[in-house]
């Protein structure tokens, strides 16, 4: 990688970290509601992996998805606006934090039913195979996803049909609050692939270059028709599962130990040692990133809420002329409710 690309990886990781800290602040101020799952500590995986993909490869993620959205190049403005529930957000305030998406960047969304997106990723990989596009699907989940039926059904199917998909497990060692030794009979997650005769690897999820390297190889394999892979990236969350988590179940010593292995200062050290950046450069990047996140907050705060009259838009791909909603028959949804008059149906 050239200097600019390496520096870009650092900048993206820092952007995610600062964005997440700011999101927590905005949650505390009640600007953000519902569930908020932050990515602090795991940034190297999203940044390393996305940098290894082609822009037209498909990306499907779990609900801890802010890092992937930002790494994929979605603007912090659109992500923050979505967290605020505004019309300018990635899904216009429909999906919220757990369901970010930008299909123009082939980021097919964050999915919030644990394991629910794994079959979808296999299906996108089938579409790539069917259309011979050479695309690879990168699908990410947490360690807690590897016990549910869809994990096994999707891995089996993907291997059976040699689909071009990389299933990546961010093993942060806790399924919500349950430690991995209490939720999985196999704690080295990559070994689960042997049940499906699938290629599998384990990587240090806190090493951005190691993640990038392995995803490059697995993508190349998949593109060459050699089939799917299971990648386990071992990492740790710096914060609780979500903003609602008081994080009493993880030993403080374990959290402290992993914070010592923070992927961002570690990569800064690499850049300094290779003399690609000076300490002054690092400070400048930090200032730029802070400003970018402040701008995102200002943008989100100034953005309008989605209009009430758009509520029914997009339930179906094309307007449904005789959809029955709330006791009235409505003409194309954009036109708003039309009370049905006996004998003058608008069907057909």
Partner 1 sequence: MAEITYREALKRALREEMARDPNVVIWGEDIVAYGGGGAYGVTAGLAKEFPGRVRDVPIAEEAIVGVGIGAAMGGVRPVCELMTINFALVAWDQIVNHAAKQHHMFNRQIQVPMVIRSPAGWGRTASTHSQTFENWLASIPGLKVVYPSTPYDAKGLLKASIRDNDPVFFIEHLALYGTRGEVPDEEYVLPIGVSQVKRPGKHLTVVTWGRMLVETMKAARALEAEGIELEVIDLRTLRPLDLAPALESIHKTNRAIVVEEGFRTVGLGAEIAASLQEMAFNDLDAPIARVAGLEVPMPYAKNLERATIPFAEDVIAAVRRMMEKQY
The answer to the question of residue 101 lying near partner 1 (CB under 8 A) is yes
Q: Judged by CB, which is closer to partner 1: 8, or 129?
A: 129
Contacts 24+ apart (CB under 8 A), 90-93: 92/306, 92/310, 93/305, 93/306
The answer to the question of residue 111 lying near partner 1 (CB under 8 A) is yes
Q: Which stretch binds partner 1 (CB under 8 A): 94-102, 218-226, 249-257, 266-274?
A: 94-102
Q: Look at residues 163, 235, 247, 240 and name the one whose alpha carbon lies nearest to residue 205.
A: 235
User: 317-346 mask for partner 1 (x: CB under 8 A)?
Assistant: xx-xxxxx--x-x----------x-xx-xx
Written as one string, the DSSP assignment of 218-243 is: HHHHHHTT---EEEEEE---SS-SST
Q: Judged by CB, which is closer to partner 1: 251, or 336?
A: 336
Q: Judged by CB, which is closer to partner 1: 153, or 209?
A: 153
Written as one string, the DSSP assignment of 195-216 is: GGT-EEEEEETT-HHHHHHHHH
Least gap, CB of 266 to partner 1 (angstroms): 35
The answer to the question of residue 95 lying near partner 1 (CB under 8 A) is yes
- Give kind and range of the element (H or E) at residue 141: strand 137-142
Q: Is 170 exposed, middle or buried (0-12, 13-18, 19+ CB in 10 A)?
A: buried
CA pair distance 240, 176, nearest whole angstrom: 8
Site for partner 1 in 41-70 (CB under 8 A): 58, 60
Least gap, CB of 141 to partner 1 (angstroms): 13
Q: Which stretch binds partner 1 (CB under 8 A): 1-9, 89-97, 253-261, 296-304?
A: 89-97
The answer to the question of residue 108 lying near partner 1 (CB under 8 A) is yes
Q: Look at residues 69, 72, 66 and name the one whose alpha carbon lies nearest to residue 22.
A: 66
CA pair distance 53, 42, nearest whole angstrom: 18
User: 133-162 mask for partner 1 (x: CB under 8 A)?
Assistant: ----------------xx--xx-xx--x--
- Give kind and range of the element (H or E) at residue 170: strand 165-171
Query: Parallel, antiparallel, or unpaired for β 229-234 and 199-204?
Result: parallel
Site for partner 1 in 248-307 (CB under 8 A): none
Least gap, CB of 108 to partner 1 (angstroms): 6
Site residues (CB under 8 A) for partner 1?
58, 60, 90-92, 94-95, 99, 101-104, 108-109, 111, 113, 116-128, 130-131, 149-150, 153-154, 156-157, 160, 313-318, 320-324, 327, 329, 340, 342-343, 345-348
């Amino acid at each position: 990688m050239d200097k600019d690309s390496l520096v870009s990886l650092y900048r993206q990781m820092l952007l995610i970290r600062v964005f997440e800290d700011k999101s927590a602040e905005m949650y505390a101020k009640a600007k953000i509601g519902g569930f908020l799952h932050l990515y602090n500590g795991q940034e190297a995986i999203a940044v390393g992996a996305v940098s290894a993909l082609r822009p037209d490869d498909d990306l499907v993620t779990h609900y801890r998805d802010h890092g992937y959205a930002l790494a994929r190049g979605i603007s912090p403005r659109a992500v923050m606006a979505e967290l605020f529930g505004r019309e300018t957000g990635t899904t216009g305030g429909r999906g919220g934090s757990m369901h970010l998406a930008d299909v123009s960047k082939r980021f097919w969304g964050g999915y919030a039913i644990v394991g629910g997106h794994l079959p979808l990723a296999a299906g996108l990989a089938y579409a790539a195979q069917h259309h011979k596009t050479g695309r690879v699907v990168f699908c990410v989940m947490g360690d807690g996803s590897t016990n549910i039926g869809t994990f096994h059904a999707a891995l089996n199917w993907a291997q059976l049909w040699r689909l071009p998909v990389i299933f990546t497990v961010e093993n942060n060692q806790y399924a919500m609050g349950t430690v991995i030794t209490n939720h999985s009979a196999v704690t080295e997650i990559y070994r689960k692939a042997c049940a499906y005769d699938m290629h599998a690897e384990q990587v240090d999820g806190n090493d951005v270059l190691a993640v990038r390297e392995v995803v490059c190889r697995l993508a190349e394999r998949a593109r060459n028709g050699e089939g799917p892979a299971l990648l386990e990236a071992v990492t740790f969350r710096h914060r609780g599962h979500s903003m609602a988590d008081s994080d009493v179940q993880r030993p403080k010593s374990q959290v402290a130990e992993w914070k010592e292995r923070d992927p961002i200062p570690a990569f800064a050290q690499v850049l300094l040692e290779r003399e690609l950046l000076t300490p002054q450069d690092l400070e400048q990047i930090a200032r730029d990133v802070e400003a970018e996140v402040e701008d995102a907050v200002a943008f989100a705060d100034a953005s309008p809420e989605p209009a009430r009259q758009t509520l029914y838009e997009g339930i179906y791909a094309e307007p449904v002329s005789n959809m029955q909603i709330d006791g009235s028959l409505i003409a194309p949804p954009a036109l708003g409710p039309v009370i049905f008059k006996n004998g003058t149906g608008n069907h057909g």
